[in-house]
A and B are shown apart, each in its own frame.
Chain A
Amino acid sequence: MAELNVPTMADMAASGQTPEVLFWVGCAGSFDQRAQKVTRSFVKILNHLNIKFAVLGKEESCTGDPAKRAGNEFVFQMLALQNIDVLNGYSVKKIVTTCPHCFNILKNEYPSLGGNYEVLHHSTFLQKLIDEGKIKITDTETFKGKKITYHDSCYLGRANEIYEAPRKVLEELDAELVEMKSCKTKGLCCGAGGAQMFKEDEKGDKRINIERVEQALETNAQIVASACPFCSTMLTDGVKAKDKLQVKVFDIAELLAAGQGLETVNLQ
């Protein structure tokens, strides 16, 4: 597999260059093994299209989202103010991220702390590339006759009203897009938001991701598409718990990379 070309902001600044866009990788994209693959798929697309981007690398910190949603405004603002210092230090104007939580907080909550950027989620970013005719689907076999169902991330959907962009990305593939019982504004949460990802569930009858995966299985889709690393984890766990390993969970970036022949996805 070809080496990825991942310039950092520090490299770019040292050579006097400015990237078009900063790719905010996020904690999941940096550290979670499954999400790392999504990060790589997204970079493959960026590299393939020769898009001049950079990452912060070791200078990136958590945006503070889980702390903020758990109620710890101190930790959130400490991280946010540090991140804003770094971002403003590099005069960053435009950010793209593969995580809806990073997207939401950078877009909505950083401005009043002094961080003003154009922030895009990778679904919108990819949709724009599609609209500009830059994405060429070369693999028409992998997805032929397959059903894909898209799971709306709360922080992309209800939180920021982005419902169509990820669907547009999936429509590029030669597959049938089917909807779950609860979708778009009524989309059911995967159970990870509000820092639930980082703690045990409260007492109840069922885990939320199981409820959601049951809805996904009802569609008979072979692929559950997600646009959030936390949703992906929750859905993958749910599919395992339901013993339906033939159903695969992928991020839209992985699927689009596969469509362009940049990635192989295992649907067996």
Chain B
Amino acid sequence: MITILQTVLFIALCGVAGFFAFKGYRRVYRNIMLGKKANYSDNPSQRWSNLLLVALGQKKMFKNIKPAILHVFIYVGFVITQIELIEVFIDGFTGGHRRIYHAVENIPFLRGFYVFTVSFIEVASLFVLFATIAFLVRRWILRVPRLNKPELKGWPIKDATIILLAELYLLTCIFSMNTGDMALAHGEYGFLVSGWLAPLISGFNTTVIEVIEKVGWWGHIIGVLGFLVYLPYSKHLHIILAFPNTYFGRLTPKGYIPNMPEITKEIKLMMNPEAAPAEVSNEPIKFGAKDVFDLTWKNLLDAYTCTECGRCSAACPANITGKKLSPRKIMMDTRDRLEEVGRSMEANGGVWKEDGKSLIENGYISVEELRACTTCNACVEECPVMISPLEIIVQLRRNLVMEESNAPNEWTGMFANMENNGAPWQFSQQDRLNWEKA
């Protein structure tokens, strides 16, 4: 009776979590697809190589060795720990207990492999424990500067801490589950780390130990499912999106800013009016980006992939010298505005209604921030998952300059000089060879 109840409860739990997780991920996908079309499907072999080296292989993380090693502990530990989920699911759906173990317990080789695997998971978990504590210390005690910037105040820093505490919670569950089993079976399983821990609880009566094991088991699966549901609302989504984001990463030199073909058309028309196209599109052309809809889906994928590590801002010359610009904030603001748009669409039956706001100002990215960028690509170079804050900055600048005529006076003068005398300064084109005589 109890087993059936447990199975039903387990299936119900998975169903509910699956439903909410599906909703969450679908929402993220829908929001990303609100972006403009852009083609990132060329050169698949280079793209796979980027995915394998940069996402799977963490290549760019290793520019900064200490956090890279701690991150690898958690990353590898997280992946390895999932192996134990196979048995958790089998037991959950069938109402059994350690079914894989019991299936192989009389086959020495497979039994040995099972025990080794669980022990390996336990050792990996110890590394995760160490790294998680180290990350909490870096964030809250050492107060690493890039993890304590103004744009992280409020929800972002809570989100980061929730994730780290959730890691600790999951580890506690795994160890109480395994230690409970070890104590109940008098060490029969032979797991490594829980073997050291078992004597601590083996003096308790059996019921207490059973509760410890059950709490660990249920706590673990609830934690995992909760994590799955939480992810699409968290900066931690990078554990999934790092893979598509590196695959769809830019393959062109960092100095390349794509040209705008719609402008080429207009200028060619201006230079040669007779070559006017037969049909003129009535759709108003909008130059640059003012809101998330004007950015490409890749820019929006970048925004959801950002885990707010702040390597970009720590390398940004404007940010280092106290200007308001922070490339990380560019990504966070883009995502936050996109989330706002998404929520508003949900409230209006899936249809977007103009809300009089945009990504520029309105509490999001300020003109002052956009003006401070030197386009030096330090942020792009630093990002471990190939995000480009610069591409967003340039598109927003285009909107300011070409749609709103919003440029500092010096720039307006510079544009005029460039148009009139072919140089950013007020020198005559006729004097271009004067250097020869100087």
Asked if A204 contacts B419 (CB within 8 A), the reply is: no
Per-residue contact bits, chain A 1-16, to B (CB 8 Å; 1 contact, 0 not)? 0001010100000000
With A30-B432, A62-B422 in contact, do A202 and B372 touch (Cβ < 8 Å)? yes
Cα-based distance from A191 to B325 in the complex (angstroms):
13
Whether A73 lies near B411 (C-beta < 8 A) is no
A204 engages B260 (CB within 8 Å): no
Q: Is B378's beta carbon under 8 Å from chain A?
A: yes
Q: How large is the interface on B (under 10, 10 to 19, 20 to 34, 35 or more residues)?
A: 35 or more
CB distance from B1 to the nearest CB of A (A): 64
CB–CB B432/A57 < 8 A: yes
- Complex contact B318–A67 (CB within 8 A): no
Q: Could you tell me if B317 and A202 are in contact, using CB atoms closer than 8 angstroms?
A: no
Which one of B288, B320, B321 has the greatest number of beta carbons of chain A within 10 Å? B321
Beta-carbon contact of A69 and B375 below 8 Å: yes
Instruction: A71 to B431: give the CA distance in the assembly, Å.
Output: 28
- Answer yes or no: A90 CB below 8 A from chain B CBs: no
Q: Is B271 an interface residue (CB 8 A)?
A: yes
Say which one of A33-41, A135-143, A165-173 lies at the interface with B: A33-41
Task: Please classify how large the interface on chain A is, using the bins under 10, 10 to 19, 20 to 34, 35 or more.
Answer: 35 or more
Q: Which of A73, A196, A206 has the most CB of B within 10 A?
A: A73
Question: Which of A76-84, A122-130, A239-247, A255-263 forms part of the interface with chain B?
Answer: A76-84
Interfacial chain A residues near B378, Cβ < 8 Å: 154, 158, 186, 188-189
The reply to whether A202 and B259 form a contact with Cβ atoms under 8 Å apart is no
Taking a contact as CB atoms under 8 Å apart, the answer to whether B371 and A66 are in contact is no
Q: Please report which residues of chain B, range 389-438, place their CB below 8 angstroms from some CB of chain A when the two chains form the complex.
A: 394, 396-402, 407-408, 410-411, 414-415, 418-419, 422-425, 427, 429-436, 438
Contacting pair B253 A161 (CB below 8 A): yes
- Name the contact of B411 in the complex, choosing from A25, A70, A203 (C-beta under 8 A): A70
Counting chain B CB atoms within 10 Å of each CB, the highest count among A104, A200, A203, A204 belongs to A204
A237 at the interface (CB under 8 A from B): no
Q: Are B430 and A58 in contact, with the CB atoms below 8 A?
A: yes
Known: A64-B418, A158-B377. A30 touches B322 (CB 8 A): no
CB distance from A173 to the nearest CB of B (A): 24
A211 contacts across to B, CB distance below 8 A = 317, 320-321
B361 at the interface (CB under 8 A from A): no
Contact A72–B415 (Cβ < 8 Å): yes
A194 B321 Cβ-Cβ under 8 A: no
Identify which of residues 198-222 in chain A touch chain B, using a CB-to-CB cut-off of 8 Å: 198-208, 210-212
- Cβ contact within 8 Å between A25 and B321: no
Is the C-beta of A150 less than 8 angstroms from some C-beta in chain B? no
Q: Is there a chain A Cβ closer than 8 Å to B340's Cβ?
A: no
Of A6, A61, A74, A112, the residue contacting B429 (CB under 8 A) is A61
User: Could you tell me if A159 and B254 are in contact, using CB atoms closer than 8 angstroms?
Assistant: yes
The docked-state distance in angstroms from the alpha carbon of A201 to that of B371 is 9
A160 adjacent to B263 (CB under 8 Å)? no
Contact A160–B255 (Cβ < 8 Å) = yes
A189–B259 touching, CB < 8 Å: no
B311 to chain A, nearest CB (A): 11
The verdict on A195 contacting B321 (CB below 8 Å), with A39-B435, A158-B378 known, is no
Query: What's the nearest-Cβ distance from chain B to residue A203, in Å?
Result: 7
CA distance A30 to B432 in the complex (A): 5
CB pair A198–B410 under 8 Å, yes or no, is yes
- Contact between chains at B256 and A202 (CB < 8 Å): no
> How far apart sit A201 and B323, CA to CA, in the bound complex (Å)?
9
- Is the Cβ of B423 less than 8 Å from the Cβ of A81? no
Which residues from chain A sit less than 8 Å from chain B, CB to CB? Answer: 4, 6, 8, 25, 27, 29-31, 33, 36, 39-40, 55, 57-58, 60-62, 64, 66-75, 77-79, 81, 104, 107-109, 112-113, 154-155, 158-161, 185-186, 188-189, 191-208, 210-212
23 A-B pairs (CB sep. < 8 Å): A30-B432, A31-B425, A36-B434, A58-B433, A62-B422, A69-B375, A70-B407, A70-B415, A71-B396, A72-B402, A73-B398, A74-B402, A75-B415, A78-B419, A81-B271, A189-B374, A192-B374, A193-B374, A194-B374, A198-B411, A198-B424, A202-B323, A202-B368
What would 10 more interface pairs be, CB under 8 Å, given A8-B433, A30-B427, A60-B422?
A31-B423, A31-B435, A64-B418, A67-B418, A70-B407, A70-B414, A79-B418, A193-B375, A195-B414, A198-B414
